[in-house]
């Protein structure tokens, strides 16, 4: 083997050494800064490959007199994928007629040019609760927060795999209004945009009846979307029942009928949460073959428990047979130390 070949074979090792050095530096910074941080977290995810992550959450700076403001920092990837950096902030304040206003902002990016930016806020205007979310991105949900892709309330997916570089935006405006002692109406219109495709519209509605049977709740559901691109529109409606009994897990199930242009198809959603021994858990699953803005079949399970001086979390996600480039399986473990 000649000298040129040996040099070429050794060249890729330098970026790897740089990645390892950066990871070590950030990990040491996390431990060093623990006294000023409320939570230091470590996570390891497996989808298409291993994705380690270090987090500093709930950072507060009383010396700056910033009020009720929290910051979070994260570093992820660098093993089977590109390095990622994230920043988020949350604050609460009193704002005129909206009363107590909670707002947040986040920014995630990696070294290949992928990004996901977001703003959110919530407040109340009289008897109406208000929420707003705005995102600008060039990747599908879960590119930076793996669990988000398998959650049933994720934003719409791009109409191609997440490796696409198309820039998109999504705006949601939500309103919740109590119509009586036991009747609550929720409406969430949305507007989506994709640079090379155009504009999409969506609407989710929910009419909830509290204490329908004893302490159980019921609801009527409606979902409609004029998606981004051809063959992306669908509509569905159905009913939901939530079991809410003392001493039992919280169970919710919904049956729906939907149409996306190829006939009416049934669908369902289910969720459960509670405690099992020392573990708390939450699970949700959906089979909605009429959906065109997200994988038709999705599910996730989360477990949490106290372990030593911190908290251990385990997550599992599944999205079999999807056309969005989403890995069909997610395994994720995390450990957080609180100070």
Encoding tokens for residue 70? 């929290």
- Report the pLDDT averaged over residues 309-328: 94
The torsion angles phi and psi of 86, rounded to 5 degrees, stand at: -135, 150
3-state secondary structure of 6: helix
- Predicted pLDDT at 62: 55
- Predicted pLDDT at 319: 97
Query: What average pLDDT does the structure give for the chain?
Result: 86
Encoding tokens for residue 163? 């490796």
- Predicted pLDDT at 177: 96
- Report the pLDDT averaged over residues 101-124: 95
Tens digit of each residue's pLDDT (9 = 90 or more) over 174-212: 999 999 999 999 999 999 998 878 899 999 999 999 999
The confidence band for 339, taking pLDDT boundaries of 50, 70 and 90, is: confident
Tens digit of each residue's pLDDT (9 = 90 or more) over 232-275: 899 999 999 999 988 889 999 999 999 998 899 999 999 999 99
- Predicted pLDDT at 81: 86
Which of 187, 161, 289, 297 is CA-nearest to residue 234?
A: 289
- Report the pLDDT averaged over residues 119-131: 92
The confidence band for 164, taking pLDDT boundaries of 50, 70 and 90, is: low
Complete domains list, the chain, with CATH = 3-338 (2.40.160)
Q: Where does the chain show beta strands of DSSP type E?
A: 39-46, 50-59, 69-76, 84-94, 100-110, 115-125, 128-137, 168-178, 183-194, 198-213, 216-226, 234-243, 250-259, 264-276, 279-287, 297-307, 310-318, 329-338
For the chain, the residue count is 339
Higher pLDDT, 214 or 161: 214
Higher pLDDT, 3 or 151: 151
- Taking the C-alpha atoms of residue 85 and residue 77, their distance in angstroms, rounded to an integer, is 9
- Whether 231 shows a pLDDT value over 50: the answer reads yes
């Amino acid at each position: 083997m000649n000298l040129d070949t040996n040099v070429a074979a050794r060249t890729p090792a330098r970026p790897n050494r740089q990645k390892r050095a950066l990871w070590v530096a950030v990990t040491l910074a996390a431990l060093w800064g623990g006294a000023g941080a409320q939570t230091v977290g470590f996570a390891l995810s497996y989808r298409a490959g291993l994705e380690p992550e270090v987090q500093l959450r709930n950072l507060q700076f009383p010396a700056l007199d910033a009020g009720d403001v929290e910051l979070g920092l994260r570093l992820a990837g660098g093993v089977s994928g590109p390095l990622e950096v994230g920043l988020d902030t949350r604050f609460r304040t009193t704002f005129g007629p909206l009363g107590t206003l909670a707002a947040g902002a986040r920014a995630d990016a990696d070294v290949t040019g992928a990004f996901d930016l977001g703003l959110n806020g919530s407040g109340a205007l009289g008897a109406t609760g208000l929420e707003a979310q705005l995102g600008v991105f060039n990747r599908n949900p879960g590119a930076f927060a793996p669990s988000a892709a398998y959650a049933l309330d994720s934003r719409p997916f791009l109409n191609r795999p997440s490796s696409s570089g198309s820039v998109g935006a999504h705006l949601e405006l939500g309103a919740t209004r109590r119509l009586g002692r036991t009747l609550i109406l929720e409406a969430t219109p949305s507007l989506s945009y994709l640079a090379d495709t155009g504009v999409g519209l969506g609407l989710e509605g929910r009419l909830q009846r509290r204490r329908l049977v004893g302490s159980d709740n019921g609801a009527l559901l409606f979902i409609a979307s004029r998606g981004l691109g051809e063959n992306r529109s669908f509509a569905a409606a159905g009913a939901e029942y939530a079991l809410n009994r003392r001493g039992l897990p919280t169970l919710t199930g919904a049956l729906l009928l939907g149409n996306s242009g190829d006939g009416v198809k049934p669908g369902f959603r289910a969720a459960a949460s509670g405690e099992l021994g020392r573990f708390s858990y939450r699970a949700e699953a959906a089979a909605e073959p009429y959906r065109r803005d997200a994988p038709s079949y999705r599910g996730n399970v989360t477990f949490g428990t106290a372990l030593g001086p911190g908290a251990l979390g385990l997550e599992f996600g599944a999205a079999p047979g999807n056309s969005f480039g989403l890995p069909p399986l997610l395994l994720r473990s995390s450990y957080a130390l609180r100070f």
